[in-house]
Structure 1
Amino acid sequence: MNLDTTSPLLHLAHRPDLDIMVGRWGYQPAPDELPAVYQQVEKEALRSRCRFWLQDIRRRTLNDPQTTRWLLNVFFPDMAQRLGGRLFIAYLVGPALHESIVKQPGYVPAEAYNDKPFATSFFGDEGAAIRWLQIQQTDKVR
């Protein structure tokens, strides 16, 4: 599944000026590559104590349903608890992947996360994704 082995699977950096952890995915991973990558995400999030994530997945072409279930049911709730507050993940996606995600059985829109310890939303524009994360940072109810 890895079509471009010359670039890293994930470049991850905390932007302290924005208090946003940015992850840029380099290619479509095989499902067996993901556990090590999410360990890297966990380590950086805990190191930076950052609950606001921008995940640029525009180079990915599909989401593995099993991994998605694990993220929504285990990883995100656990990270929110470990980070001591609600976790927000803004996904920057290309049009084809966005369409694929929203048409999957069990897709949950952003509004459905209001009672969850985390929220996700999908964007086609990086500026809009960052603005959404900044709004979450300033919302005193969170």
Structure 2
Amino acid sequence: MPVFSTPYLEIYHDAPRQILTAKWLRGVMPFELHRGYHALLDQAVERDCRFWLLDIRRRACIDSSDVLWTLNEFLPQVYPRLKRPAYLAFLMAPHHLAGDLADGRVPDPAYYNERPYRNERFTDKEAALEWLQHCHQLEEVAR
């Protein structure tokens, strides 16, 4: 059962694994994207959950301006609200990932090494979940 739901986004909390899943249900307008990401951050703060699976496979088109808004406007808000690093696994359709990789405005994963959040892109849900679990284990060891 979702902890948050709109016609374009459902957010689920997997308490045992400490993962929030944001499942986009269709393409969205910019204001919906912004509201959805802010709802995700609110849920993350409420549940103290820093491991996120963002399923964007159903979004018909991922505009680079949406990606840039996420990078430049949204992600800088995550650490100040959560007070700890966040880990974001983006689950993408293969053609979205190919477009993302070809877009020179979208940074490669090394860009995130100096940020208070980590971001990886996947086309396989199990690989995304494994990465999140690995990040969680590394955090536990570091304590």
Does the alignment reach a TM-score above 0.5? yes
TM-aligned CA deviation for residue 65 of structure 1: 2.4
Distance 1:93 1:131 in 2: 15
Alpha-carbon RMSD: 1.8
Identity over aligned pairs, percent: 31
Paired residue total: 136
Distance 2:36 2:106 in 1: 23
Task: State the match for 1:4 in structure 2.
Answer: none
- Which residue matches 1:38? 37
Give yes or no for the alignment of 1:116 onto 2:108.
Answer: no
- How far did 1:112 drift? 2.5
Kindly provide the CA deviation profile for residues 49-104 of structure 1, in whole angstroms up to 9, marking residues without a partner as x.
11110011111132232332222123112112211111111011111111111111
TM-score by length of 1: 0.87
Moved over 6 A (4+): none
Q: Which moved more, 1:29-38 or 1:129-138?
A: 29-38
**Do 1:109 and 1:121's aligned partners in 2 also have CA atoms closer than 8 Å?**
no
Q: Which residue pairs with 1:3 in the alignment?
A: none
In structure 2, C-alpha distance between the alignment counterparts of 1:26 and 1:84, rounded to whole Å: 29
In proportion to residue count, which structure has more helix?
Answer: 2
> In terms of mean alpha carbon deviation, does 19-28 or 69-78 score higher?
69-78
The unaligned stretches of length 5 or more in structure 1 are 1-6
- TM-score, length-scaled by structure 2: 0.86
1:1-142 to structure 2, matched below 5 A, reads 8-140=7-139, 141=142
Residue pair 2:89, 2:120 contacting (<8 A) in 1 also: yes
